[in-house]
Structure 1
């Protein structure tokens, strides 16, 4: 299948073609990257936009359960839902379990849903480098809502905010201690905090946790992209599917306000600039992965280890070599 045919099938909403296109944009091969750029350029002309929702939370908080229940509710409302679930990769082997699709059994069988697990590899915040491109593919395929599930909570996890229109933080009852040290950075990014598992014996604890975070949110600096009352904390139960309708109503209210007040397109323009700069940075780092570059790095590293040259001088020599290779290849 050539790039033109692939793009046309994605535009028609063909889920198999969409899966192939996502595989293409995730590939690290240079020829695949060139084909991916061609597909993305063609699909950008559709002008379609979906609501992008980034979702993060501590491990075990019930992200997959929440996404399935939330996605089923949206589909019942006639919306098409795409889920891009980023799985943690092993630092030793590089492998990932990629089990999100099996944990969302009901949602995966829906014709209006598309679930794609991807390995985080070594990328900042557990968001795979090409997830941003996968989001664009899902938009072009006509999905109304794209949910981006990230690996967990950490200071670097906030990179998800650079590809989402709204950032949702999912918490467990009495789980505040798990966020110590990273709480402020995450909360400053959050548009909506949802305390999950607000049912049974945990309901009282969930209510207390929700009140604690609601109070903490009021202490944060007011953001220009928020109307009165946002960001806010709410209780939900993914297992009992309660609070989901109310959460969706708040999401719609916030997004509607941002559209009317010019924050939607402004933020998307900022994100496009960010990902252009990120692609440039990644392309520069990729130059260090060529066989010649790795060999030169090893040689200079050995010289530094033996005390024959300082690290700063070795770094300058390495950069000079890269510039020389770049200049010769450009001739």
Structure 2
């Protein structure tokens, strides 16, 4: 009598698929070579001018890189794209966290693409001061717009840039314009001084507000209110419509307390609902009126010139700062001076002067 068959173990290894007897070494080598190959500056420029989104994304990645070789290549790409830039309307959108910026931008962007516009959204996400990471979740929040063939969404980490604006957002605008996007939307972090930085790179600045949040009194304060070309009370739907209309009245009264803008444009206050799409078309009409008026008065092109000058100076300041902290002599002396300042052995101002004298002596 034969013994009973032992059940097979679930951990028993089964025969897999055998590799082919003939392996094309040449094909493998070619595939590996192509994977490592990076497009040249001219290839990226040609791709961007042809509206290739992959080329545009790669170019923006180069622009955002801190690698010196990447920076040189990025400058070549920007130079090649510059003659085809400056043909868009640049719109900055800001508001406190929770005001519904991403939802609004999706509704607004979708409305524009339906009008035949090509929309690029440069969204700046805040970086953690502890882990230095960012969620970069704008593509997730803008589910419909991200699938639109006439839209391009690029989330970027703010990093350590003052104001929460990505260090190279200005250059990214140029690349998007060269790729044929005629409407550039820049979403700010919505906290700190990011509004000031974004205001210096856009044509129209839109401030999103919500009613019932206790911030109507902010309307009588200067700063962000003076920069805004339009104030939009978002989430004006359902039971919130009455509150939104009341907030609109409050902000309209507050705007009359401010002196006239240099552009002579009177800031508008309106309500909208990003959910129901109510009021979205009115916002675009307001922006169109602004562009028409400022072009007729010559303010629009003049503002662009001032912004170019501003960003030239900002780039010089940034490069000087980067060069200062990367000097070997400064690196070695910085820690020593830091400890001396902390121990009250020298004043912060004297320590700074010592380091600057050292830097200029090595630079001369």
Larger Rg over CA atoms? 2
The 1:296–1:232 alpha-carbon spacing in structure 2 relative to 1, beyond 3 Å, is same
The equivalences for 1:245-284 within 5 A come to: 245-284=281-320
CA contact (8 A) 2:206 2:232 kept: yes
Give the TM-score of the pair, scaled to structure 1. 0.94
**Cα separation, 2, equivalents of 1:63 and 1:38:** 34
**Cα separation, 2, equivalents of 1:216 and 1:179:** 9
SS in structure 2 opposite 1:13?
A: coil
Paired residue for 1:322?
359
**Cα separation, 2, equivalents of 1:181 and 1:191:** 14
Paired residue for 2:59?
21
CA contact (8 A) 1:124 1:156 kept: yes
Provide, for residues 252-298 of structure 1, a one-character-per-residue CA deviation record: whole Å limited to 9, x for no partner.
Answer: 01111111110111000000011000001111111243272333210
The 1:183–1:116 alpha-carbon spacing in structure 2 relative to 1, beyond 3 Å, is farther
Greater shift, 45-54 or 257-266, is seen at 45-54
2:252 matches 1:208: no
Paired residue for 2:271?
235
The 1:153–1:208 alpha-carbon spacing in structure 2 relative to 1, beyond 3 Å, is farther
The equivalences for 1:63-212 within 5 A come to: 63-177=101-215, 180=218, 183-212=221-250
**Cα separation, 1, equivalents of 2:217 and 2:82:** 38
The 1:3–1:178 alpha-carbon spacing in structure 2 relative to 1, beyond 3 Å, is farther
Number of matched residues?
325
CA contact (8 A) 1:80 1:145 kept: yes
The 1:151–1:300 alpha-carbon spacing in structure 2 relative to 1, beyond 3 Å, is same
The 1:172–1:75 alpha-carbon spacing in structure 2 relative to 1, beyond 3 Å, is same
CA-based RMSD: 1.7
The 1:209–1:93 alpha-carbon spacing in structure 2 relative to 1, beyond 3 Å, is same
Provide, for residues 149-199 of structure 1, a one-character-per-residue CA deviation record: whole Å limited to 9, x for no partner.
Answer: 000143552221110000000001123428749942000000000000001
Paired residue for 1:313?
350
CA contact (8 A) 2:63 2:168 kept: yes
SS in structure 2 opposite 1:170?
A: strand
CA contact (8 A) 1:155 1:185 kept: no
Greater shift, 59-68 or 41-50, is seen at 41-50
Q: For structure 2, which runs of at least 5 residues remain unmatched after alignment? A: 1-38
1:131 shift after superposition: 0.5
The 1:116–1:23 alpha-carbon spacing in structure 2 relative to 1, beyond 3 Å, is same
Paired residue for 2:338?
301
1:48 shift after superposition: 4.4
CA contact (8 A) 1:154 1:182 kept: no
CA contact (8 A) 1:89 1:119 kept: yes
1:320 shift after superposition: 1.6
1:325 shift after superposition: 2.9
**Cα separation, 1, equivalents of 2:79 and 2:142:** 32
CA contact (8 A) 2:216 2:250 kept: no
2:288 matches 1:289: no
The 1:246–1:272 alpha-carbon spacing in structure 2 relative to 1, beyond 3 Å, is same
Q: For structure 1, which runs of at least 5 residues remain unmatched after alignment? A: none
